Amino acid sequence: MQAANGTPPKATPLYFIILFVCAFLVRALTFGYVQQEERYKQPDSNDYHNGALCIAYGFGMTFPNGEPIFWRVPGYSAYLAPFYAHYGITDTSFSGASDAQQASIWMQIVLSAFLPLILFFLALLLTQSYWIAHITAWLSVIHLGFALASTYILTEGIALVPFYLFLLFFYRSFRSFFETKPASNAWIKNIIAAALFLVLHTWVRPMGQYIAVVAALILLLFAQDTFKRKAQKIALFLCVFASGISPWYIRNYNLTGQWFFCPMFGTYLKSFTAPRIMSEIEDIELIDAWKRISMQAAMTFKTQKPLYERDGLALSPDMVCGSISWPIVLAHPFLALRDWMREVIKTTVDLYSSQLVAFVRHTHHYDPLIEYITEKWYDCVYDAPLSWPMRCIVFLEIIYALLLWVGLIGGFIRFMLLPCIRRFNEPEMINRLFGMWIKVAPMIAATLFMTGGFGYARLRLPIEGLMIILSLSFWQYIRKK
């Protein structure tokens, strides 16, 4: 495949080895800092630690007292469990498993070092430009968010690789939006591979089940196929995906009598959205609203649990949280939507450097009930006691973010808005870019929208690569002009 703009460096096997090694070294150096004071322990880390202990000790995703674990899906705990078993954990505290945790993180670093290679091929597939593919790959090598994510006891450490492989095979199943080549049967293998990688991702991060719905809609709306072929693609994709995650649905139904994969949505509403609404409408402190809703959920669980046990069933505390929170949310939909979108915006524009602030202030072990993006920016730029190398990282990220968003906004106007206004009376190159943007932008928007419970930068990592690719498509257009 020839690049459309000059002759870029060739992508030889040696080139990919260098790319991998550089990515590994950046992440290894990052871990050298993160492993100090157990900074790899993040707000959700203890849940995965407990799940790994249960699996390593032979209880599966069930506490020794017989209480099933519903709040987390088993993928990441199952990843940690062999390390825990190998190191023979005798101290069940989080710090007691530090050797096993650090060994698991080194494996995450190795896996994460493959991301630049995957993003190279994804960028090349979407844009047909070696120039964009090279820059995307090297940006992902030094990207602060990708580097930090590989060093935490968190799902992103292993979930990003299968997610980007899902994106690669998913978009390979398309024909270009304006392509006129006859259809082939290669889409079958690509659809199956995409669904299987999304299954793997979903066993680690349950957001994958929502991504599956979004992917089906993108196929329906934007695949340049007959309706019959679209239906075949969607049916195959959803069948493979549903088959892959169905065992956990069946497990939860057998335990509770209710069909669900992961009930974490209820707990997010109880912890964040519902208290904020109650705090505003009743003019009380946020912490008081949170305590009131939490107490109500605890009392409801205590009352209903014996009724379930009488029928030989378990009760998910997280489902109870949802039953308490949903009436509050539905009674005030505009307040809920406003709060949700505020968190989505926070995810969209938050700086990964905010984690450096959390490190120096020793606040990385927990999430506050509410954060304000302006305060986080102020901390990064000025207020937090960061060392000068950290402050340099902050300003480098700000420059990156400005270039990224100029490219995204400029590309949206030039490749999506203007072609629609002009009824696609555009050069062929613009029409091709419209086809690429119209297939990729909904995936970005949908992933960001899911983060409205509590937003922060790392939640956009699954689509950060897509954002880079779209932005670079605009900068390449400017470069050519």
pLDDT category at 207 given cuts 50, 70, 90 is very high
**DSSP structural state of residue 457:** G
- Residue 200 pLDDT level (bands cut at 50, 70, 90): very high
Average pLDDT (194-200) is 98
- Cα–Cα distance between 89 and 92 in angstroms, integer? 7
Range of the domain at 158: 13-259+386-480
Q: How far is CA 111 from CA 53, 108, 330, in A?
A: 23, 5, 42
Within a domain: residue 68?
A: yes
pLDDT score of 168 more than 60:
yes
Task: Return the pLDDT at 8.
Answer: 61
Neighbouring C-beta atoms of residue 270, cutoff 10 Å = 26
Report yes or no: 319 and 260 within 8 Å, Cβ to Cβ: yes
pLDDT tops 60 at residue 293: yes
Q: Domain for residue 228, yes or no?
A: yes
The whole-angstrom separation of Cα 316 and Cα 294 is 15
Residue 7, pLDDT score: 52
**Average pLDDT, stretch 310-331?**
92
What does the pLDDT look like over 355-367, one tens digit per residue?
Answer: 999 899 888 888 8
Residue 303 lies in a domain: no
Q: Once rounded to an integer, what is the mean pLDDT over residues 193-216?
A: 96
Token pair, residue 286, equals 């946020």
Segment 280-300 shows an average pLDDT of 93
User: Three-state SS across 14-38?
Assistant: HHHHHHHHHHHHHHHHHHHHHCHHH
**Does a structural domain hold residue 361?**
no
Determine if residue 179 is left, alpha or beta; phi over 0 gives left, psi from -120 to 50 gives alpha, anything else beta: beta
For 42, left (φ over 0), alpha (ψ -120 to 50), or beta?
beta
pLDDT greater than 90 at residue 159: yes
Residue 359 within a domain:
no
Span of 36-45, 170-179, 378-387, 395-404 with lowest mean pLDDT:
170-179
Q: Which positions ≥6 away from 186 have C-beta within 8 Å?
A: 172
Q: Would 123 be classed as within a structural domain?
A: yes
Q: Per-residue b/e over 38-50, b at no fewer than 16 CB within 10 Å?
A: bbbbbbbbeebbb
**161 inside domain:** yes
Domain contains 448: yes
Output the pLDDT for position 363.
85
Per-residue pLDDT band at 183 (split at 50, 70, 90): low
Percent of the chain with pLDDT over 70: 96
Beta strands in 56-153 (DSSP E): none
Q: What pLDDT does 259 receive?
A: 92
Given a contact cutoff of 8 angstroms between Cβ atoms, the answer to whether 42 and 48 are in contact is no
User: Which pLDDT belongs to residue 178?
Assistant: 40
Structural domains in the chain (count): 1
The DSSP bridge partners found for residue 68 are: 62
Say yes or no to pLDDT of 342 above 80: yes
Calculate the CA 375 to chain-centre distance.
Answer: 24
Whether the pLDDT of residue 3 is over 50: the answer is: no
Residue 481's pLDDT is 77
Which of 138-142, 185-189, 213-217, 357-361 is predicted least confidently?
185-189
Is pLDDT of 51 > 90?
yes
Q: Which amino acid is at 77?
A: S
- Residue the block writes with tokens 């992508």: 11
DSSP string, 141-194: HH-HHHHHHTTSSSTHHHHHHHHHHHHHHHHHTSPPTT--SPP-THHHHHHHHH
Note the pLDDT of residue 242.
Answer: 97
Instruction: Read off φ and ψ for residue 62, nearest 5 degrees.
Output: -145, 135
Q: What is the mean pLDDT of residues 263-289?
A: 91
pLDDT of 182 above 70? no
Tokens standing for residue 196: 């299987």
- The predicted-structure confidence for 228-268, as pLDDT tens digits, reads as follows 999 999 999 999 999 999 999 999 999 999 999 998 888 88
Query: Tokens 């208290």 label which residue?
Result: 275
**What pLDDT sits at residue 4?**
45
